């Protein structure tokens, strides 16, 4: 593996350059044009087989080793977020209202840097490596599912992926078999009451008051209806009533997210949330519209592949410790790949040592330690070559 590590060390400056270029020119989910073109050009210059427009805007590149063997897939996402960047850095986003605030620019740079290193070892590789560059991870229905339907996993025996994780210190790798990330669902609600004069509430059905009561009532689902040994999160993040200050609102629009790990709990939350809404509206004589949209399923890591990566990571230069982490309530459409083939998804610590606290992902001041890309590339690269050699 020393050759791989030496090649990656040599590629590090280029990886940083790629990351910063992508950071300056972010593209939102389902709007990616220049980014996939950039990725495809990079792989073609290496001589890889390249397919563009996979599942919409995805890119798949294949490196075929000189010797026959199994096929490993590696995935990186490349979409950005609708956030105005507030960082004062040389590589600050040049596109107003758009920013790489989750590290996907780093994921892409990591995979391209690794692709170049593995390409230089083509004659030594026993099998094939499929580089899955995925669009639209941030917005459901996401890019993973249509890419799979378009054949990105054909012939793949195992898949590995990582997320650069700013809250975790540089040098730490987080792994977990089973559920590591939650199902991420969306709920949209419209409450219809009866408007009126602010001084005459008895002639109206106050949509604001009853919607507020619903939000409070709904929080008891998790605390009083869900088995305390199981997990669920309910967050109402949008509450809107556009009205003058002295008018009782007739209509309120709400939206939120529900996060769960188990299908039984997921279904219970979907059904009982509407029951609470129905009961609250019935008490006040209001009506409602309710739409529950199932987003990404939970990310379930396969045990043997997770243990394999954990063992690999513990021997990678720059990794100080490998930690079995608790599950996260965030969502990821990497879940769809793991429903089709064995594999694992892990977190690579990316918090700079000098930071007392990192800004969270999806924050306007988000950033990460770029050295994490090198650790991620070495971990993915060693996992790939070891798997191919041993299988």
pLDDT tens-digit map of 234-253: 999 999 999 999 999 999 99
According to CATH, the topology of domain 2-180+298-390 is Aminopeptidase (3.40.630)
Please choose, from the candidates 335, 213, 191, 207, the residue with its C-alpha nearest in 3D space to the C-alpha of residue 266: 335
Chain segment 356-377, per-residue pLDDT in tens: 989 999 999 999 999 999 999 9
Token digits of residue 88: 């004062």
pLDDT per residue over 330-352, tens digit each? 999 999 999 999 999 999 999 99
Exposure on the CB side of residue 130, measured as CA atoms within 13 A: 23
Q: Please pick, among 27, 32, 77, 79, the residue that the annotation labels catalytic.
A: 79
154 is catalytic: no
In this chain, the answer to whether the domains covering 2-180+298-390 and 183-296 adopt an identical fold is: no
Determine whether 270 is an active site residue: no
Q: Domain 183-296's class?
A: alpha beta
Return all residues near 191 (Cβ < 8 A) that are at least 6 apart.
207, 210, 211, 214, 251, 252, 253, 254, 277, 281, 286, 287, 288
**Taking the model in full, what pTM does it have?**
0.95
Tell me the C-alpha distance between 111 and 40, whole Å. Answer: 12
Q: Looking at 137, 138, 333, 367, which residue is catalytic?
A: 137
Q: What pLDDT does residue 107 have? A: 98
Kindly state the average pLDDT of the residues 13-36: 98
User: With pLDDT > 90 as the criterion, what percentage of the chain qualifies?
Assistant: 99
Q: Residues 60, 132: contact at Cβ < 8 Å? A: yes
Ranges of each domain in the chain? 2-180+298-390, 183-296
Distance CA 48, CA 272 (A): 51
Q: Express each pLDDT in 148-194 by its tens digit.
A: 999 999 999 999 999 999 999 999 999 999 999 999 999 999 999 99
């Amino acid at each position: 593996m020393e050759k791989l590590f030496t090649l990656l060390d040599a590629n590090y400056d280029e990886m940083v350059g790629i990351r910063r270029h992508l950071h300056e020119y972010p593209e939102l989910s389902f709007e990616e044009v220049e980014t996939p073109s950039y990725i495809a050009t990079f792989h073609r210059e290496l001589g890889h087989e390249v397919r563009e427009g996979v599942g919409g805007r995805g890119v798949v590149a294949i490196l075929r080793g000189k010797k026959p063997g199994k096929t490993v897939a590696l995935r990186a996402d490349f979409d950005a977020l609708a956030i105005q960047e507030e960082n004062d850095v040389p590589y600050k986003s040049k596109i107003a209202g758009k920013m790489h605030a989750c590290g996907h620019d780093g994921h892409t740079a990591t995979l391209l840097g690794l692709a170049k290193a593995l390409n230089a070892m083509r004659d030594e590789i026993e099998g094939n490596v499929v580089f899955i560059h995925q669009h639209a991870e941030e917005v459901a229905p996401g890019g993973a599912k249509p890419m799979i339907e378009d054949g990105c996993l054909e012939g793949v025996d195992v898949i590995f992926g990582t997320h650069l994780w700013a809250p975790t210190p540089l040098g730490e790798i987080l792994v977990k078999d089973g559920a590591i990330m939650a199902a991420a669902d969306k709920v949209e609600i419209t409450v219809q009451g009866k408007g009126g004069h602010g001084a005459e509430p008895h002639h109206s059905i106050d949509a604001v008051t009853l919607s507020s009561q619903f939000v409070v009532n709904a929080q008891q689902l998790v605390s009083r209806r869900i088995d305390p040994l199981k997990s669920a999160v309910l967050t109402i993040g949008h509450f809107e009533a556009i009205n003058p200050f002295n008018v009782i609102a007739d209509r309120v629009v709400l939206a939120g997210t529900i996060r769960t790990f188990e299908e039984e709990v997921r279904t219970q939350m979907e059904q009982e949330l509407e029951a609470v809404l129905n009961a609250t509206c019935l008490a006040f004589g209001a009506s409602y519209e309710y739409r529950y949209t199932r987003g990404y399923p939970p990310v379930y890591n396969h045990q043997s592949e997770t243990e394999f990566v954990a063992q690999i990571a513990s021997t990678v230069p720059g990794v100080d410790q490998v930690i079995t982490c608790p599950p996260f309530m965030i969502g990821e459409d990497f879940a769809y790949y793991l429903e089709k083939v064995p594999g694992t998804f892990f977190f690579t610590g990316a918090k700079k040592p000098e930071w007392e606290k990192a800004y969270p992902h999806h924050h306007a001041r988000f950033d990460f330690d770029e050295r994490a890309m090198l650790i991620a590339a070495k971990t993915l690269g060693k996992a790939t070559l070891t798997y191919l050699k041993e299988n």
